[in-house]
Amino acid sequence: MWPILLPLIGTIFTFLFKRGGAATISLVTVSAITLAVAGLTRQVLQHGEQYYAVGGWEAPLGIALHADGLSVLMLIMTTIVGASTSVYAMGYVFQGPRAGSAVGGYFFWPLWMFLWTALNVIFLSADIFNLYVGLEILSLSAVALVTLEGKPAAIVAGMRYLLASFLGSLAFLLGVALLYTASGTLELNSLGTRMLSNPSSGLALALIMLGLALKTALFPLHFWLPPAHASAAAPVSALLSGLVVKATFYMVLRLWFDVFPAIATPAVAQILGALGAVGILWGSILALRQQQLKLLIAFSTVAQIGYLFLLFPLSNGMTEIGLDAWSGGVYFALTHACAKAAAFMATGTLVYALGSDRLDDLPGTFRRYPLSVAAFTVAGVNLMGLPPSGGFIAKWLLLTSALNSGQWWFAVVILAGSLLGAGYVFMVLSRMLLDQPQSIADSKQARPVTLTTELSALALAVFVFVLGVTATPLIALLRIGAPF
């Protein structure tokens, strides 16, 4: 329970005392959440899956919470990315609606604490309506965080994000209403056992998957993502690309295996996989065509989300191969969260320093801001999926399950995506490492940056390699309560 309550308490205090202490309060909250998540992880490791009846009312009357390996791994991901982003945000200069008024900086903390609450609510919920409530907090705080930057581009992108996101929420809610009327329960497992194959559950599946795909930015519903993620403030972009799309993906995953196995046919899984595959290629190709750094990384997110959805066709059949694909997809989400957040943080520092996010303005940055360039490089290695990064492990699992299940075309897409990924990472790196006379980085125009921002990005990026080494125990943790 504490992982949910603590960020909520953090929200109240950062809202009340925003002038001076908000950042300090957040750091206290971050430490407390870390302890709570560590405690829960220990509990799950020792005693297996955990159930909790809120208010002492058992489901279906009350709301059930549920923690298994998957939930715990998502909580750990949120804690690590959240903690480093919090440290980063302390050193980051927010623009706000009026430059100098620092309104943006004040409101970042309560909004981020709300977002964190929503993430933990979603990862621990075993109730489909409770998931919807979590989704509501998630979307609203994410949109407010985008518009925090205050520039017209951010407001427009935020508005588009808001509309897309609420369309997704409404579709989800309609699906929930259909399921509840048909089965008389909101608890995930009993929904799954009472699932009948008829037009109403079919429409519920379609609505819920469509709503969540829209929120996760699965191709071709990704149109809102690049402007929103690219125009937000750097710590916000890190949170959005790292965590927010993972939360909605987690919901797809949870519902797919707990609620819909009776009616989710291989054909539906193939559709999701095909959209993911097209997303990988489309996102990567568009990333290669960008001239602006943050847009490039945002399109890379579109591509990487595609990999997550390969999990569905590859894990079909509930066998050992399926387990590999499932673990690979989840591990991919975990490593991508860390790598992409680190990439956004590192480039955010550079964009602030140079006052520009054009690729052509990057030369010379390696000498003046070596830590940020190093952070981007390390994160980039993961995006390409090279060993010994965690991304390599995840891609390897997906690749072997593609070959073992005889779906070689997905293996081709995974390899092609990695090549294209290497292309856009090198496109950025080659410019960062270029030694050019009269570059902005060497001129007086370039602003000094704080060590906090540079180091927090680097630490998070290096952590991706830790994930490469600790894959075995983490995947063992993931298998506690796995659907296979």
Q: Which residues bind other proteins (CB under 8 A)?
A: 1, 5, 8-9, 11-12, 15-16, 52-57, 60-63, 97-98, 100-101, 103-104, 107, 110-111, 114, 117, 121, 129-130, 133-134, 136-137, 140-141, 143-144, 147-148, 155, 178, 181-185, 198-200, 202-204, 206
Give the residue with the Cβ less far from other proteins, 140 or 302: 140
Given a contact cutoff of 8 angstroms between Cβ atoms, the answer to whether 70 and 475 are in contact is no
Cβ closest to other proteins, residue 227 vs residue 276 = 227
Q: What is the DSSP string of 149-161?
A: T-SHHHHHHHHHH
Which amino acid, 103? V
Q: How far is residue 148's CA from residue 150's CA, in Å, rounded to a whole number?
A: 5
* Shortest CB 164 distance to other proteins, Å: 16
Around 284, how many Cα atoms within 13 Å sit in the side-chain half-sphere?
26
Closest distance of CB 99 from other proteins, Å? 8
Compute the least distance from the CB of residue 154 to other proteins, in Å.
11
- For residue 261, the minimal CB distance to other proteins (Å) is 20
Tokens of 238: 């890190």
CB of 233 to other proteins, least distance (A): 12
Nearer to other proteins, 7 or 391 (CB): 7
Residues 477, 73: contact at Cβ < 8 Å? yes
Q: How many CB atoms lie within 10 A of CB 111?
A: 23
Q: Which amino acid is at 20?
A: G
Residue 385's φ and ψ, nearest 5 degrees, are 85, 35
Q: Nearer Cβ to other proteins, position 110 or 348?
A: 110
Q: Which amino acid appears at position 301 of this protein?
A: T
Beta carbon nearer to other proteins, 3 or 328:
3
Write out the two tokens for 58: 């058992």
Is the Cβ of residue 35 or residue 482 nearer to other proteins in the bound state?
Answer: 35
In whole angstroms, the minimum distance from the beta carbon of 11 to other proteins comes to 7
Query: Which CB sits closer to other proteins, 262 or 371?
Result: 262
The candidate with the shortest Cα–Cα distance to 119, out of 307, 333, 345, 383, is 333
Min separation Cβ 407 and other proteins, Å: 30
What does the buried/exposed string (b/e) look like for 326-349 if buried means 16 or more CB atoms within 10 Å of the residue's CB? bbbbbbbbbbbbbbbbbbbbbbbb
310 in Cβ contact with 398 (< 8 Å): yes
Collapsing DSSP to helix, strand or coil, 65 comes out as strand
Q: Which is nearer to other proteins, 177 or 412 (CB)?
A: 177
CA 151 to chain CA centroid, Å, is 24
Which CA distances in Å does 317 have to 66, 200, 283, 303, 333? 25, 25, 29, 26, 22
Nearer to other proteins, 121 or 428 (CB): 121
Q: Do residues 314 and 402 lie in contact, with contact meaning Cβ atoms separated by under 8 Å?
A: yes
Q: Could you tell me the smallest distance in angstroms from the CB atom of residue 145 to other proteins? A: 9
Q: How many other CB atoms are there within 10 angstroms of residue 81's CB atom?
A: 26
Please identify, using beta-carbon distances, which residue of 12 and 163 lies nearer to other proteins: 12
Strand partners, 292: 358
Q: How far is the CB of 463 from other proteins (least distance, A)?
A: 30
Among 227, 90, 87, 53, residue whose Cα is nearest residue 154: 227
User: In 3-state terms, what secondary structure has residue 389?
Assistant: coil
Q: Where are the alpha helices (DSSP H) in 94-244?
A: 103-124, 128-147, 152-183, 188-193, 199-216, 225-231, 234-239
Q: How far is the CB of 267 from other proteins (least distance, A)?
A: 17
In the complex, the smallest distance separating the C-beta of residue 199 from other proteins, rounded to whole angstroms, is 4
Q: Which is nearer to other proteins, 35 or 103 (CB)?
A: 103
